[in-house]
Amino acid sequence: MSSILTNNSAMVALDTLRSINKNLAEVQNQISTGKKINSAKDNAAVWAISTVMSTDVSSFNQITDSLNVGSATVGVARSAAETVTGLLQDMKDLIVQAQQDLNTSDRTRIQTDVTSLRTQIGNIVNAAQFNGVNLLKGTSAMSVLASLDRASDGTVSATNISVSRNDLATTAAAAGTAKTSGDGGYVSTADSITATDVAKTAGDPGTITASQAGDLSDGQTLTLTIKAGAINAGDVFSFTVGGSAISYTAVSGDTINDVAAALRTAIDGASITNATAAGGADAADPLVNDATVTVGASGGAVTWADSSITTTYSSSDLQDGNSVDVTLDGGTITAGDTFTVNAGGADYTYTAADGDTNNDVAAGLKALIDAGSITNLTVTVTDATDPTADAATITLAASGGSVAVNLSALASSGPATTAGGLAALSSIDVSTATGATAALSSIETLLNTAISASASFGSAQKQIDAQSEFVMQLVDSMNSGIGAMVDADMEAASAKLQAVQVQQQLGVQSLSIANQSPQVLLNLFR
């Protein structure tokens, strides 16, 4: 049946032409871009894989740059270390020459050459830097980014090559300079600890026990036993007998025998009514055996109460319930600065890291002291509002008993300078035969140090260069893999283009013929 409303042939021809045009557009896009997959709609899975691999390729290109910089840095250090090795060999030749009998003038000339070589070595070491990194000074290792490792779950981790520094500096060791008031991080205290008389407890060295508690009757003898052990200067031993106060304060070097003798003398000097001359026995070994003091009643009673006995020691410890504030001044703190607080009989020293403020130092000291688990000590920190100007405060508080806190041990100083690996060069002196002999032994050690550094840098540079070559090969392989997934087959695309163009021409002709069908119907109405 023919119809002027529906032209089935034209619709078929038109649909076919649309499909042909779509294929033609795809082929033309492949030819113009060189890719068969340009976006996620072309093939989502392949596009995702290729995109991830493309980002990895970009990252590996950056890694190549990192490896090149690392190789250059190590190369500079290696070259400098090899040069230093050569100069040390030259110095060794001079030292060997100095082993023979020489006059003073010749030795002086040789020493001048040695000094010149030493200066030259120092200049080379100081200049052996690349982009500000000098591997011949210091001890911390340099890390070179070597790879990005992608696991099966998609996570990525970095792999680094660690290059050890080899210190060939000629600098001698130097202690850090103590900070003074106003320096950043200067440690001080706004408080002080007052020495306190503290009663000895039963069993402490020097404690006194009495043979009876009450008054002495006529004919009775009182024996006071002084406990064996070491006593300290400032310990006080006292009691009241016959109404007279008897007391002795120990001095440096005293033992309990000295205390017993002093108490006997004090009793006799008090001229106590009805009291006999003081007696007693010294300890055979004052650190092990007890000493005694005796006094008797003769002709009448002598008043006595054992509650009058006191034995005390002077304590400079922080007492229970008291606290002391340690302050750290505001200002600039340098990496390597040290800060020391003594508590519980031990020093706690914090070394500042790069970028630390006095708040960081206070927190670091608190952490160290807390880790010491000092009995009866509580540590709190009050941060500085502005670390560049305000002080941070560490509060040490005694709770439940006394705590040894030594405020005189507070200290803060700038970073110390450690001796360089070739610091012994400064002591080489061949101006005397004795010095020349010592120099020969010293130069061998220094030469081995430089040789080891050169070998270490050579191995590290070889490893970095090998990794760089591998990364370049890896990038090539990844690019090839990405191309295999997304690149268009240009030969096939060319052949397909011609085929589709022919199909397009035939489709246009087919549509033209189909569009002529309604014209045939006009003949039916003529």
DSSP string, 435-486: HHHHHHHHHHHHHHHHHHHHHHHHHHHHHHHHHHHHHHHHHHHHHHHHHHHH
Distances (CA, A) of 186 to 80, 110, 156, 228, 309: 40, 48, 45, 44, 46
Question: Tokens standing for 125?
Answer: 């070491």
Question: Tokens standing for 384?
Answer: 């500085």
pLDDT per position as a tens digit, 106-130: 888 999 999 999 999 999 999 999 8
pLDDT band for 23, please (50, 70, 90 cuts): confident
The pairing of beta strand 187-189 with beta strand 142-150: unpaired
Give the closest residue to 227 by CA, choosing from 342, 127, 309. 309
pLDDT per position as a tens digit, 178-191: 999 989 999 998 77
Most confident listed range (50-64, 82-96, 136-150, 170-184): 82-96
The pairing of beta strand 221-226 with beta strand 291-296: antiparallel
Q: Is the pLDDT of residue 473 over 90?
A: no
pLDDT value of residue 209: 95
Give the other-Cβ count within 10 Å of 81's Cβ: 27
pLDDT value of residue 370: 95
Question: Tokens standing for 317?
Answer: 């410890």
pLDDT value of residue 266: 96
Q: Which string of DSSP letters, residue by residue, matches 336-395?
A: T-EEEEEETTEEEEEEPPTT--HHHHHHHHHHHHHHTT-TTEEEEEE--SSTTTSPEEEE
Quote the longest CA-to-CA distance of the chain.
176
pLDDT value of residue 294: 96
Going by C-beta distance under 8 Å and a sequence separation of 6 or more, which residues neighbour residue 453?
Answer: 77, 81, 84, 136, 166, 168, 421
pLDDT value of residue 496: 73
Query: Could you tell me which residues are beta bridge partners of residue 295?
Result: 222
Backbone angles phi, psi at 154, to 5 degrees: 95, -10
pLDDT value of residue 486: 67
The pLDDT of 346-350, averaged and rounded, is: 95
Distance CA 11, CA 7 (A): 6
Check residue 206 and give left, alpha or beta (phi > 0: left; psi -120 to 50: alpha). Answer: left
Q: Is the pLDDT of residue 497 over 70?
A: no
Q: Is the pLDDT of residue 489 over 70?
A: no
Give the other-Cβ count within 10 Å of 107's Cβ: 19
- Averaged confidence pLDDT in the chain: 87
DSSP state at residue 200: -
Distance CA 19, CA 13 (A): 10
pLDDT band for 472, please (50, 70, 90 cuts): confident
The pLDDT of 336-364, averaged and rounded, is: 94
pLDDT value of residue 2: 65
Give the closest residue to 206 by CA, choosing from 235, 186, 173. 235
Question: Tokens standing for 219?
Answer: 């004919």
pLDDT per position as a tens digit, 374-407: 999 999 999 999 999 999 999 999 999 889 999 8
Q: Are residues 340 and 412 in contact, defined by beta-carbon separation less than 8 angstroms?
A: yes
Give the closest residue to 405 by CA, choosing from 459, 485, 324, 335. 324
pLDDT value of residue 153: 79
pLDDT value of residue 171: 84
Query: Could you tell me which residues are beta bridge partners of residue 347?
Result: 342
Distance CA 105, CA 93 (A): 18
Q: Are residues 4 and 521 in contact, defined by beta-carbon separation less than 8 angstroms?
A: yes
Q: Is the pLDDT of residue 487 over 70?
A: no
Integer Rg of the chain from CA? 47
Going by C-beta distance under 8 Å and a sequence separation of 6 or more, which residues neighbour residue 436?
Answer: 95, 98, 99, 107, 430
- Geometric angle at alpha carbon 98, from 95 and 103, rounded to 5°: 155
pTM above 0.75, yes or no: no
Distance CA 260, CA 55 (A): 89
